[in-house]
Amino acid sequence: MKHLTLATLMVIVAGGCESLGPEATRPSPGLPLFSLAPGTETPVTTDPAWQQSPAISGDRVVWEDFRNISISNLDLFLFDFSTGTETRLTTEPESQRAPAISGDRAVWTDFRNGGSNSEIYLLQISSGTETRITNNIFTQQEPDIDGDRIVWEDGRSGSSDLFMFDLATGTESRVPAGTSRKVNPAISGNRIVWMDQRNGNFDIYEFDLATGTERQITSNVLDEIDPAISGTRIVWTDQRNGNPDIYLFDLATGTETQITSDPASQIRPDIDGDRVVWMDSRNGNPDIYMLDLTAGAESQITSDPSTQSVPVISGKRIAWMDFRNGNADIYAFKLGTTIAEVVRRVNECLASGDISDPGFAQKLKSLLAGAQQDLDRGDIVGAKRGLRNVINQLNAQSGKKISVACAHDLRVLTEEVLAGLP
């Protein structure tokens, strides 16, 4: 997880079960995020206190927030883009830090039980039911969650190990066994990745819960840090070239890919599906960049001259910490739908049999290709006309040459492309 200490933030700026329930939700003051349009960058928070360390899943983003007490205490807040409401998740006088989220569940590091140790807690967001996941005198921290599984760093064995709790079975396990220092875990499905110091420097390792096998992903003499995983793809920050770059390893193909090669610093990657985001200093200040692995296209997401850092991504939503207002706020960006995505869905519908007439699929793709050509030459009116023709064809053939479900999907995607045009 991308938990930040105050010292790290300064560096960035310079360069058991009880139903507690979150506080009543309320609209985030002055922010029209419920109508966040594709391709628009919008503040999630505007409070003058610091908000930091965002995590995102679908329409929900969570973060650490200093607004209620002091620098020694943090609470967790959540914003739901689908409803435009902000919710305070924790109200304990001690700090709750390092949030992670998966669907309707949020987890975090919690200091409410006294002393210097911390525990892992879980909140079922919709019901407000909070559950204590760990209960011992040692430090548990930096959780991540995917579906029913929670992983975290755990100090009970005398060094930093990784433990996992399976909510479906109610069982806790140490994964994997070993004496080396393991930190910063991330999980996706059956796979866990982490930073491992067994070789003197930090390398990236992966453990497959389905097969019980461990795999070393990197073996360079310099540190590889900040791992993130989505499906079979792992990304991290890599120092091998003398400056930090972003690298990717695909477990399905066994291939490693260098994502960035600019001589400036690229750090703190996150990944979801085909999209990778990271913090990039090529313009003199840290900005947020993204690479679409399918299209091979790199995009600059932010261009404000202040610092934007610690990006996270889920689907088409990206969130990050932003210093443009003199303090740390949370900002978000929703990616627009592209014509290429509509074409990809046409091909999927044809392959699945939801389009029964290949000629109809070709007609849709020809209309989409024409709209793309119009866009490429700056003819927005022509592009809109072509996209509306696609929608008309879908309406006319829904339930005939194309299934109702696929016609709906393609209509929604095409309308999203239209909504993103000037």
CA pair distance 185, 202, nearest whole angstrom:
13
Q: What is the pLDDT of residues 256-284, one digit of tens each?
A: 999 999 999 999 999 999 999 999 999 99
What's the rounded mean pLDDT across residues 340-368? 96
* The model's pTM: 0.84
Query: Is 358 within 8 Å of 350 (Cβ atoms)?
Result: yes
Contacts of residue 119, Cβ cutoff 8 Å, sequence gap at least 6 = 109, 110, 112, 113, 132, 133, 134, 135, 140
- Characterize 302-323 residue by residue with b for buried, 16 or more Cβ atoms within 10 angstroms of its Cβ, and e for exposed: beeeebbbbbbbbebbbbbbbb
What pLDDT sits at residue 420? 85
CA proximity to 331, closest of 4, 52, 66: 52
What pLDDT sits at residue 73? 83
| DSSP classification of residue 306 | S
Q: What is the pLDDT of residues 143-155, one digit of tens each?
A: 999 999 999 999 9
Q: Judging by DSSP bridges, how do beta strands 96-102 and 191-196 pair with one another?
A: unpaired
Lowest mean pLDDT among 121-135, 175-189, 242-256, 316-330: 175-189
Q: For the domain 6-334, what is the CATH code?
A: 2.120.10.30
Q: What is the pLDDT of residues 221-240, one digit of tens each?
A: 999 999 999 999 999 999 99
- How many angstroms from the chain centroid is the CA of residue 244? 20
The structural domains of the chain, with segments of one domain joined by +, span 6-334, 339-419
Residue 246 has pLDDT above 70, yes or no: yes
Residue with the bigger pLDDT between 212 and 68: it is: 212
Q: Tell me the residue type at 11.
A: V
* SS3 at position 212: coil
Lowest mean pLDDT among 136-150, 174-188, 363-377: 174-188
Q: What is the pLDDT of residues 188-222, one digit of tens each?
A: 999 999 999 999 999 999 999 999 999 999 999 99
| DSSP classification of residue 22 | P
Q: Tell me the residue type at 285.
A: N
Q: What is the pLDDT of residues 16-57, one digit of tens each?
A: 433 334 444 434 433 333 334 557 789 999 999 999 999 999
What pLDDT sits at residue 27? 40
